[in-house]
Chain A
Amino acid sequence: NAGVTQTPKFRILKIGQSMTLQCTQDMNHNYMYWYRQDPGMGLKLIYYSVGAGITDKGEVPNGYNVSRSTTEDFPLRLELAAPSQTSVYFCASSWGQGFTEAFFGQGTRLTVV
């Protein structure tokens, strides 16, 4: 059982470039989330989805976009990367309504230079 898988694990982007962070889960969870974690700060919610075709903004959505075409996949798109987007990104999933036990991926460490 793979759980939540994120790719890539590391990436360096130049300012203005775009990229997609991939996230897939094999637990048939309806809820999926994207967080960013900055040094010394708590996790901040970027976007979340309560099911295929349904997404909503979290606390820090600016500069990001998401889509949810299947239950399994929840990619995060960065458009026109900026140094402020340098962070570690975590994808998570959970079953049921509300934030029940969530399973996190291993993270993607992104540096924008």
Chain B
Amino acid sequence: EDQVTQSPEALRLQEGESSSLNCSYTVSGLRGLFWYRQDPGKGPEFLFTLYSAGEEKEKERLKATLTKKESFLHITAPKPEDSATYLCAVHLQGGSEKLVFGKGTKLTVNP
């Protein structure tokens, strides 16, 4: 069964304290891996798409990386406004539009 697991479920950081979020997947075939940010009461907001192992994408304090089994979202020197739930999703091969989402990591950055 195709599965996406995100860890940790919740993470508390002090402002400036860098860390990483993990998204591991066991799927039959990967077309792409997506990272989204979701603020309370809002819809997910697109951050990155990664397609192949070794690929990296950066945006401000965020950097996403991909291996054959997992992806990391690295947060460098986070600020309180980075507090949100970060969702990982994988797009499966096989012609389906199925996107399998993880349960998310809730990040809180304290000032």
Contacts and interface: CB of A to CB of B under 8 A. Distances in A.
B49 A106 contact: no
A50 B97 contact: yes
Contacts of B31: 98-99
B32 A106 contact: no
Contacts of B46: 101-103
B43 A99 contact: no
Contacts of A41: 103
Interface string B92-110: 0000011111111000000
Q: Which of under 10, 10 to 19, 20 to 34, or 35 or more describes the interface residues of A?
A: 20 to 34
A101 B101 contact: no
Interface in A46-92: 48, 50, 56, 58-59, 90, 92
B43 A105 contact: yes
A56 B104 CA distance: 26
A52 B19 CA distance: 44
Interface of A: 4, 31, 33, 40-45, 48, 50, 56, 58-59, 90, 92, 98-107
Given A58-B98, A99-B97, 20 more contacts: A31-B97, A33-B97, A40-B103, A42-B4, A42-B100, A42-B101, A42-B103, A43-B89, A45-B98, A48-B97, A98-B91, A99-B31, A101-B49, A102-B46, A103-B46, A104-B43, A104-B45, A106-B42, A107-B41, A107-B43
